[in-house]
Amino acid sequence: MAKSKSGPGKLAEANIGAEKFLRGQGGETHQIADGDTPVLTTAQGIPVADDQNSLKIGPRGPVLLEDFHLREKIFHFDHERIPERVVHARGFGAHGFFEMTDTTLAGLSTADVFQRAGEQTPAFVRFSTVAGNKGSPDVARDVRGFAVKIYTQQGNWDIVGNNIPVFFIQDAIKFPDLIHAAKQEPDRGFPQAQTAHDNFWDFISLSPEAMHMAMWIMSDRTLPRSFRFMEGFGVHTFRLIDAAGKTTFVKFHWKPKLGLQSVVWNEAVKLNGADPDFHRRDLWDAIQAGTPAEWEFGVQLFDEAFAESFDFDVLDATKFIPEELVPVKIVGRLVLNRVVDNFFAETEQVAFSTGNVPPGVGFTNDPLLQGRNFSYLDTQLKRLGSTNFTHLPINAPKCPFHTFQQDGHMAMINPKGRANYEPNSWGPEIGGPRESPTLGYKPAAEQITGDKLQAKGEKFADHYSQARQFFVSQTPIEQTHIKDAFVFELSKVETPAIRARMVSHLLNVDKTLAKLVADGLGLAELPKPATPARPVIKDLPPSAALSIIANGPKRFEGRKLGILVTDGVDAKLLAALQNAVEAAGGVYELVGPKIGGVTCTKGMVLPVKQKINGGPSVLYDAVAIIPSAAGAALLANEATAKDFVNDAFAHAKFIAYCADAMPLFDKANIAADMDAGFVELTSPADAETFIAACGELRFWEREAVVHAV
């Protein structure tokens, strides 16, 4: 047998000077090598001498089974991927706090978190797409998950919502069918992260209850500019419960402090190619730059009398309550100000459930909510491998908690002492926790009588009225986007009957929309309108809160300007742009011919963030084109530079430019089409004028010209 040349002295040699120790969170100690560098150990804490070579018989001999470090390292690597979520697999999370700014809810609910204004409660939020797998792009046309975990002093409260206030289906029993239809078709494994295929629209066209949601997903709501610029909704109707057991219906809202904003479809397609992590990177960069993301927390409060008089059933998740009928009262805020330390440990392992509510918050009989309460808990066992997923730091309450739950896979907390059951005869020091009738959770009292059956409330049968209301609440630009989205999605459907069936439903929503979609699909004739289960209410008034464009922020705060520069860029003009952007609360990036930087008129070399062929204008909310004359001549022969200005023009962005940029516009064939969305920078003072114009976010008047072409 060959002798190993690495004797026991090698480990000692590797650890010479390891005289310092650190105490970890669990009280354990870790050796520290020279220069305060931790010593690599196994998961059992055994120091590792050589992490480059496995243990062999001779330098070219077989590997020994004895090498416990090798076995542990490979073992863990082989199992470091947990099953991804069936839905909402593509997610990104951040830490922050929840704060009540108003004590209105204190008298309506016993929830401790509502009792004090100004108190900051730790929170974690995970944003996500629904249909795509973990590796799918960020800016797919999809609903966005908006799941909030608030670590209250009475346990974890999860508001597991979306960026849309309604949903596709009314009963959880249809959820597997919906997701199966939306995901990749099972015989071919595609398309990924998109609904433009037969199975999805076959299901939707056979499910009239989905028509309202279909309008939302074909709108710009499913193409958010970033997480920071989208709303969040609790979707369902919940109850607030006061000390006397009286309840108030409530719907939860998150309203972005920076206002609403979306991208257009062509822009989204190119964004997914340019940066599949666009939404993740945006939130990461904002927080790291010291500009936390913030939302106002609002509630719609109403009673049984309103619920009875409302045209629709408040237990129907495919319906919303217009803010004109029940205003959203702002009572708090949510601030995200810290990125995760480890994506897997926090964002991937976080577990939400609609069933996690503190005392003072209760459920309604919404059949979709009732099913979700079961489903979320059930899925954690599959994903996280154990009923002890609550022991993971990201899921553990931050308040004291005491249970008699014990053992199981990966148990990190077990009852101490003799008692592991209740009731027991032992005193408080040995017997453990007891229930508390005064502090414990009490559900809302409700008297219910009825037959045992499978059915829905009568008002659930109205499937078109609010779909119509949503559509007429949009600006003409947004209505065009909805029409274009339907045409695109249905054009990918290979079965003519499915396309025609969808148009038959749209005829009940808006005849002009249906005709335009039919024309875009080349239907020879319009189908007959689908027969509604209940008469369509056609005089529901528009709701101003439903339009993104009508609720624009009128400011450039939180947005990004892309500045295309070359050697010889005017230093004063550039500085004026930079100052104007910063004064408006925005950020900027320099885009240039080479990543090494450009030399300005003052002779300074300025770092460039993006090379022109890697920094397209889709990455920015507005652009400025300020090359030198020689630089413009160079860019005019660069295809990606022409794409930069062409895309900015096509996506209706505001464009600032200097006179020297004209050759590039000529080559891009847009010089003759320059409109009021272009701002010439003749002096540094023009920079402020340009950024003020950018507060409108898009020069929408141009889009009609682009569409006409």
Point out the residues that are catalytic: 88, 162
Closest CA to 112 of 397, 352, 374: 397
Q: Kindly write down the DSSP assignment for every residue of 339-369, as one continuous string.
A: E-S-HIIIIIT----TT---TTEE----HHH
Helix (H) or strand (E) holding 646: helix 639-650
Closest CA to 168 of 149, 181, 184, 185: 181
Closest CA to 20 of 40, 41, 34, 8: 34
CA distances to 5, 78, 124, 132, 379 from 89, rounded to whole Å, are: 49, 20, 17, 7, 13
633's tokens: 């001549």
The whole-angstrom separation of Cα 448 and Cα 704 is 55
Say if strands 232-233 and 247-256 run parallel, antiparallel, or are unpaired.
antiparallel
For 167, residues 6+ apart whose C-beta sits below 8 A from its C-beta are: 213, 235, 317, 318, 368
Q: 62: alpha, beta or left, given left = phi > 0 and alpha = psi -120 to 50?
A: beta
* Cα–Cα–Cα angle for 279, 285, 290, rounded to 5 degrees: 135
Count of H-run helices and E-run strands, the chain: 21, 20
Asked if 645 and 663 count as a contact pair (C-beta separation under 8 A), the reply is no
Asked if 328 and 544 count as a contact pair (C-beta separation under 8 A), the reply is no
Q: 162: alpha, beta or left, given left = phi > 0 and alpha = psi -120 to 50?
A: beta
CA R_g for the chain: 29
The whole-angstrom separation of Cα 160 and Cα 361 is 14
How many CA atoms does the CB half-sphere of 245 hold within 13 Å?
6
The whole-angstrom separation of Cα 220 and Cα 457 is 31
274's tokens: 């340019």
- What is the distance of C-alpha 363 from the center of its chain? 25
| Alpha helices (runs of H) in 427-547, residue ranges in sequence order | 428-431, 465-472, 476-491, 496-506, 511-521
- Dihedral angle computed from the Cα positions of residues 506, 512, 517 and 520, in that order, rounded to the nearest 10 degrees: 170
The whole-angstrom separation of Cα 460 and Cα 313 is 6
Measured from the Cβ of residue 662, the count of other Cβ atoms closer than 10 Å reads 17
Residue indicated by tokens 């010089």: 671
The whole-angstrom separation of Cα 489 and Cα 520 is 11
The secondary structure of residue 240, as a DSSP letter, is E
Helix (H) or strand (E) holding 253: strand 247-256
Asked if 52 and 95 count as a contact pair (C-beta separation under 8 A), the reply is no
b/e code 196-225 from CB counts within 10 Å (16+ = b):
ebebbbbbbbebbbbbbbbbbbbbbbbbbb
Q: Three-state SS for 21?
A: strand
The whole-angstrom separation of Cα 128 and Cα 369 is 19
Closest CA to 250 of 114, 121, 101: 114
